[in-house]
Amino acid sequence: MPEPLHPAHVHLAVALDGAGWHPAAWREPDARPADLLTAGYWVDLVQEAERGLLDLVTLEDGLSLQSDDPWTPDERTDRVRGRLDAVQVAARVAPVTRGIGLVPTAVVTHTEPFHLSKALATLDYVSTGRAGVRVKVSSNPAEYRHVGRREAPVLDRGDLQAQQVRDLFDEAADWVEVVRRLWDSWEDDAEIRDAATGRFVDRERLHRVDFAGRWFSVKGPSITPRPPQGQPLVTALAHATVPYELVARSADVGFVTPRDAADAAGIVGEIRAAQQAAGRAGETVHVFGDLVVVLDDDPAAAAARLRRLDDVAGAEYRSDARVFTGSAAQLADLLTEWAAAGLTGFRLRPATLPHDLVQVTGRLVPELQRRGLFRTAYEAGSLRGLLGLPRPANRYATARNDAAGAA
């Protein structure tokens, strides 16, 4: 099983959502609420993240309007409502960035793996090998009604190990498996492009995936050749045992929400044990800790800003992740402590945009660099390369070569 990375190899991601993760962020003086549905807004944010040499950005998405309650829609009009499609935003941003990874969110419960496999493969081509996906399951009844294909499961919100929950994550695991098979369904040298002989592809190097399971039956092959990374990055957010198992068996990166260093160590241990049980003990699976960040040079100013945001919102902000307020130096201390507990990276959620993103790129990153904990230049041309992940071998090429050798 991979050893925890040395803190010098800490990875950093930023999660971008609307005007920021605090519901009152859009009302800040430096916010750009009129620009939220423009390409330029997202280009500016991702280019700022790239200036900080971050490994990747994730782009939030969903199939229902945002709500303060994750289980049901609300009727509030004092919050940001409405968003652009995350995959298409990433595709727009890709040509004007060069080093940073682009990881849009996909609600896999309602999205066919064939459709997304080719969209993500296309994103990998457009970005020249910097694409990924954040796999998200849905139990929100509003999303089921929007799609209209099946009834939402009746879940006990407090029972995260119920069979209905396991079914959702088992379906997500099958979704990932189908997508990975489709990415492999073209061997790397399947395209011949030989005008003299009139052969554009070698049909022997295109493969049906022939996946048949409880939720999907997919023949294949894909219509898009194998992506530059072989397989774009697969990530998932996990809060409990069942989603930890999805990370362990299906993902390259898991985003988790520890309360402190001891909790982080326990989560990492649980994921590593599940990784071993899934037969992936020899593979690198990154575990990133999520934090909502409210950052200012003066820690008192950060705390005061959060209080002011809460007053404007009319309620104290609560999150599934720990909310950190303070200076970049204090955050660097916390990240160092959590990295020692086994986390290999961090996904930071800026409370307000652009303020807290600029604090990350302009204050936190230089502080980590001064401590020798973060890169000073992009050292790889692909997202997998940035994270030290190998380019996966093509399963069908390997099987074909093995069969030829046996013959």
**Residue 150 and residue 251 in contact, taking contact as beta carbons nearer than 8 Å:** no
93-114 burial code (b ≥16 CB/10 A, e <16):
bbeebebbbbbbbbbbbbbebb
119-157 burial code (b ≥16 CB/10 A, e <16):
bbbbbbbbbebbbbbbbbbbbbbbbbeeeeeeeebeeee
61 among the known binding-site residues? yes
- Give me the residues paired with residue 295 across strands: 326
DSSP 285-334: -EEEEEEEEEE-SSHHHHHHHHHHHHHHHTS----SSEEEEE-HHHHHHH
Tokens 């020899």 found at: 282
156 among the known binding-site residues? no
Strand ranges inside 51-148, DSSP E:
56-59, 101-107, 132-136
Q: For residue 39, which amino acid is it?
A: A
Cβ count near 403 (within 10 Å):
9
Find, among 264, 259, 249, the residue nearest to 322 by Cα. 259
Torsion 263-269-270-275 (CA) sign: positive
Find, among 169, 166, 138, the residue nearest to 71 by Cα. 138
Plot region of 207 (φ>0 → left; ψ -120 to 50 → alpha; else → beta):
beta
- Count of alpha carbons within 13 angstroms of residue 37, beta-carbon side: 6
- Give me the residues paired with residue 233 across strands: 132
- Distance (Å, whole) CA 290 – CA 349: 7
Q: Write out 137-205 in H/E/C secondary structure.
A: CCCCHHHHHHHCCCCCCCCCCCCCCCHHHHHHHHHHHHHHHHHHHHHHCECCCCEEEECCCCEEECHHH
**Residue 382 and residue 129 in contact, taking contact as beta carbons nearer than 8 Å:** yes
Annotated binding site for FMN: 61, 105
Binding residues: 61, 105
